[in-house]
A and B are shown apart, each in its own frame.
Chain A
């Protein structure tokens, strides 16, 4: 069984602060993929990143960075110098090959509020 835990349900930061969103996952599969999605107030899901289980290199994209630690089953997401436009719900997700396709399990999301 797969499980994704996002322990922080809500976070508030002041603009320009850095913020880290935590994600811990459980799976018995050796090959799996991890994702982060952003859901702004408008409601759509915006894909941010996909990482496979064999690639533990950290990734940076502009103000966003991701830290994948297989040893602790964590895939944390950091926003540097946060902006009001970063206010959204962020979902961590895990997919593994099961029954012939990639089955995706989502965490419950972390609501980030960036205060101007």
Chain B
């Protein structure tokens, strides 16, 4: 049973470009969470999604950031018009239903560098 997959593992973008980060949850998991880890900091919650629904996006910046988890395919975290401050590691986690499942399993992260 493969773990949570994230790609790319490393992504370099110039200011103003778009970044697309993908997350494939573990098999059987229908809940996806995105976290951001700024340099020298802990992980901060961004958004929680179930298939085709955003449940909680309270940690997501209001502008330029969006997330989706379509019926088919991976979850996507999209950052438009990236700025240097977006440079961070972005981790995806997944958990199985029901929603009260306790442990989130993390992917290896995508390291975004904005030049």
Which residues of A in the span 92-116 have a Cβ within 8 Å of any Cβ on B? 93, 95, 97, 99-109
Q: Mark B68-110, 1 if CB is under 8 A from A, else 0.
A: 0000000000000000000001010101000111111111110
Q: Evaluate contact between B100 and A108: CB separation under 8 angstroms.
A: no
**Given that A43-B109, A101-B31 are known contacts, is A91 also in contact with B55, CB under 8 Å in the complex?**
no
Measured between C-beta atoms, what is the minimum distance from B108 to chain A in Å?
Answer: 4
Q: How many residues of B contact A (CB 8 A)?
A: 27
Which residues of A in the span 16-72 have a Cβ within 8 Å of any Cβ on B? 33, 35, 37, 43-45, 47, 50, 52
Q: How many residues of A contact B (CB 8 A)?
A: 24
Q: How far is the CA of A106 from the CA of B46 in the complex (A)?
A: 12
**Inter-chain contacts of A99 with B (CB < 8 A):** 55-56
Q: Mark B59-71, 1 if CB is under 8 A from A, else 0.
A: 0000000000000
Q: Evaluate contact between A106 and B103: CB separation under 8 angstroms.
A: no
Q: Evaluate contact between A45 and B103: CB separation under 8 angstroms.
A: no
**Inter-chain contacts of A50 with B (CB < 8 A):** 102-103
Measured between C-beta atoms, what is the minimum distance from A23 to chain B in Å?
Answer: 12
Q: How far is the CA of A43 from the CA of B100 in the complex (A)?
A: 28
Q: Evaluate contact between B43 and A91: CB separation under 8 angstroms.
A: yes
Q: Evaluate contact between A102 and B104: CB separation under 8 angstroms.
A: yes
Residue pairs across A and B with CB atoms within 8 Å: the count is: 61
Q: Evaluate contact between A45 and B102: CB separation under 8 angstroms.
A: no
Q: How far is the CA of A81 from the CA of B44 in the complex (A)?
A: 32
Q: Evaluate contact between B55 and A100: CB separation under 8 angstroms.
A: yes
Say yes or no: is B22 at the interface (Cβ < 8 Å to chain A): no
**Inter-chain contacts of A108 with B (CB < 8 A):** 41-42
Rank and list the top 9 A-B pairs by shortest CB-CB distance, nearest first.
A106-B42, A45-B106, A108-B42, A44-B108, A106-B43, A101-B99, A33-B102, A100-B99, A109-B42
New contact pairs (15) apart from A106-B42, A108-B41, A109-B41, CB-CB < 8 Å:
A44-B106, A45-B43, A45-B106, A47-B103, A47-B105, A91-B42, A93-B43, A95-B104, A99-B56, A100-B55, A100-B99, A102-B102, A104-B33, A104-B104, A105-B45
